[in-house]
């Protein structure tokens, strides 16, 4: 980290301004080489956190490149804790890239994706969960997600878990002391006391784990896939839900050959809805590829709307999709379409196949009957407000570690109930405290850090 990095921090197109960010020990001296202040100020000696008007000038030939405002911020009170200069250029491709070129020629290195935030982490300004929340904040898909993530960026979301670490370490010390001086074959404290703590800790961790899915929807949106046999009315339902003519509908089976995507907001959450090619007798290469794509999209769904034609008994193609969907172990909403016609499907066999907790709605894409029920059930059953109310947003990495913490707590409970003070209990406590440190990023590996930060955009 002894080199100086630079990147364009805003998206490049046509905009009022565009910002080039420079961070590192030479940030100020690089700026000094390129910047001509109107009042002939020396950037190396201006006070920190000040803004200066002037021009970026090519030092080789004195040519003016752009009219800019230059922000000078000396470490450690900066995003990276290093010296930072931000050049506010005009927001076109040419002024931005030309200025960046000069910055690089003057001694900076082009930053990797996420490298500014990585430095903020490595320099101890933020912990890993805060850094991760920065990525999610940039891509967040709902206003609720924004509130949750700002909370994490500020460092509040995991405070209760970090507080738990202190308690865990106190107990660990106490237990290790007992093992070092075993006067007795039983604990010097009441096991009930520790069990009560374990219970409390488990409840806390469960609150986080239970928030994972809904907070994921808030941050990334929900992927809703409409699947089923050919000609059952998938595209008609897609259009009804969206209230627009998005997919092509015909009476010919195999009309939809590719995945058609659109989106809508339910409870302020982005729902990405995907219409797929129906399963049936494959007549050509196009349909075969369509079905392959349907299978692929089904495997990525958060919720599958599985559509049947209510006017026909189930046939082998329905069964094929049913098997495929059940095998995925995904959330499913069963839609029996064409309720305006005579119903010949046996809905009992569907319920038997998917279990009675899987919701089933009778709908008609032709008359619009039941369409409101689809969106209501999705909103009520799958998009709950819990994480927003609790202020919790957790990502997949954090969920993985929290699940391990949960397991470790269960294992500890069992060991304590078994009674004897032994080394295993101490070992489990050590594991617990290690896991919490991993969560916060006190323990990390190069690979993990690379994996996390490469998801960032350049300039962040």
Ligand X SMILES: Nc1nc2c(ncn2[C@@H]2O[C@H](COP(=O)(O)OP(=O)(O)OP(=O)(O)O)[C@@H](O)[C@H]2O)c(=O)[nH]1
Q: Which stretch binds ligand X (CB under 6 A): 48-56, 69-77, 243-251, 404-412?
A: 243-251
Strand-by-strand arrangement of the 331-337 sheet:
260-266, 269-275, 222-228, 303-309, 331-337, 360-362
Q: Report the residue number, 215 or 337, with the smaller CB distance to ligand X.
A: 337
Q: Which stretch binds ligand X (CB under 6 A): 114-122, 185-193, 197-205, 249-257?
A: 249-257
- Contact between 320 and ligand X per CB under 6 A: no
When binding is defined by CB under 6 A, the residue of 92, 113, 155, 253 that contacts ligand X is 253
Cα 53–chain centre separation:
39
Within 13 Å, how many C-alpha atoms sit on residue 41's CB side?
Answer: 20
Tell me the two tokens of residue 68: 């800019």
Q: Beta strands 222-228 and 269-275: pairing type?
A: parallel
CB of 304 to Mg ion, least distance (A): 15
| CA dist., res. 55 & res. 239, Å (int) | 54
Only one residue has tokens 């000078």, namely 72
CB of 358 to Mg ion, least distance (A): 23
When binding is defined by CB under 6 A, the residue of 129, 236, 294, 398 that contacts ligand X is 236
Q: Report the residue number, 127 or 340, with the smaller CB distance to ligand X.
A: 340
When binding is defined by CB under 6 A, the residue of 366, 401, 448, 458 that contacts ligand X is 366
Q: Counting Cβ atoms within 10 Å, is residue 357 exposed (0-12), middle (13-18) or buried (19+)? A: exposed
Angle subtended by helix axes 446-453 and 115-122, to nearest 10: 140
Partner from Mg ion, ligand X, none contacting 24, C-beta within 5 to 8 A by type? none
Q: Report the residue number, 234 or 440, with the smaller CB distance to ligand X.
A: 234
Only one residue has tokens 């990797």, namely 112
Of 100-159, which residues contact ligand X (CB under 6 A)? none
When binding is defined by CB under 6 A, the residue of 149, 249, 270, 298 that contacts ligand X is 249
Residues forming contacts to Mg ion in the complex (CB under 5 A) are: 234-235, 255-256
- Cβ–Cβ < 8 Å for 409, 426: no
| CA dist., res. 261 & res. 272, Å (int) | 7
CB of 250 to ligand X, least distance (A): 6
- Contact between 231 and ligand X per CB under 6 A: yes
When binding is defined by CB under 6 A, the residue of 340, 373, 384, 404 that contacts ligand X is 340
Q: Report the residue number, 157 or 247, with the smaller CB distance to Mg ion.
A: 247
Q: Report the residue number, 5 or 332, with the smaller CB distance to ligand X.
A: 332
- Cβ–Cβ < 8 Å for 273, 263: yes
Binding interface with ligand X (CB under 6 A): 230-236, 249-251, 253-256, 277-278, 337-338, 340-341, 364-366
């Amino acid at each position: 980290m002894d080199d100086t990095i630079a990147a364009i921090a805003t998206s490049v197109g046509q905009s009022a301004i565009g910002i080039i960010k420079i961070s590192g020990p030479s940030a100020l001296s690089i700026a000094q080489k390129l910047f001509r202040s109107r009042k002939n100020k020396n950037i190396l000696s201006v006070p920190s956190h000040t803004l200066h008007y002037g021009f970026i000038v090519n030092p080789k030939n004195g040519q003016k490149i752009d009219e800019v405002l230059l922000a000078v911020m000396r470490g450690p009170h900066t995003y990276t804790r290093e010296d930072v200069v931000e050049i506010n250029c005009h927001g076109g491709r040419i002024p931005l890239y030309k200025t960046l070129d000069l910055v690089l020629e003057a001694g900076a290195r082009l930053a990797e994706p996420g490298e500014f935030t990585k430095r903020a982490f490595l320099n101890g300004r933020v912990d890993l969960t805060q850094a991760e929340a920065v990525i999610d904040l940039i891509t967040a898909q709902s206003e609720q997600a924004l509130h949750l993530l700002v909370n994490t960026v500020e460092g509040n979301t995991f405070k209760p878990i970090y507080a738990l670490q202190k308690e865990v370490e106190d107990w660990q010390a106490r237990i290790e002391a007992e093992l070092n001086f075993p006067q007795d074959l039983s604990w010097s404290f009441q096991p009930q006391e520790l069990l009560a703590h374990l219970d409390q800790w488990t409840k806390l961790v469960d609150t986080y784990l239970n928030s994972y899915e809904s907070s994921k929807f808030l941050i990334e949106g929900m992927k809703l896939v409409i699947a089923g046999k050919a000609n059952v009315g998938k595209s008609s339902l897609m259009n009804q839900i969206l209230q627009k003519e998005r997919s092509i509908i015909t009476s010919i089976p195999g009309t939809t050959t590719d995945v058609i995507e659109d989106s809508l907001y339910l409870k302020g959450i982005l729902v990405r809805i995907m219409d797929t090619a129906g399963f049936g007798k494959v007549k050509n290469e196009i349909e075969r590829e369509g079905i392959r794509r349907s299978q692929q999209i089904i495997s990525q769904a958060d919720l599958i709307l599985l559509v049947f034609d209510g006017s026909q008994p189930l046939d082998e193609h329905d069964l094929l999709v049913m098997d495929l969907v059940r095998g995925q172990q995904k959330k499913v909403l069963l839609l029996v379409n064409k309720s305006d016609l005579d119903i010949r499907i046996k809905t009992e066999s569907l319920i038997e196949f998917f279990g009675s907790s899987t919701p089933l709605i009778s709908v008609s894409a032709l008359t619009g009957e039941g369409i409101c029920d689809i969106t209501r059930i999705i909103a009520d059953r799958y998009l709950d407000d819990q994480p927003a109310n609790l202020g919790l947003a957790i990502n997949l990495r954090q969920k993985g570690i929290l699940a391990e913490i949960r397991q470790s707590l269960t294992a500890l409970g069992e060991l304590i109930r078994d009674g004897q003070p032994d080394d295993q209990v101490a070992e489990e406590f050590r594991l617990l405290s290690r896991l919490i440190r991993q969560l916060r990023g006190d323990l990390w590996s190069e690979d993990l850090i690379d994996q996390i930060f490469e998801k960032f955009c350049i300039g962040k």
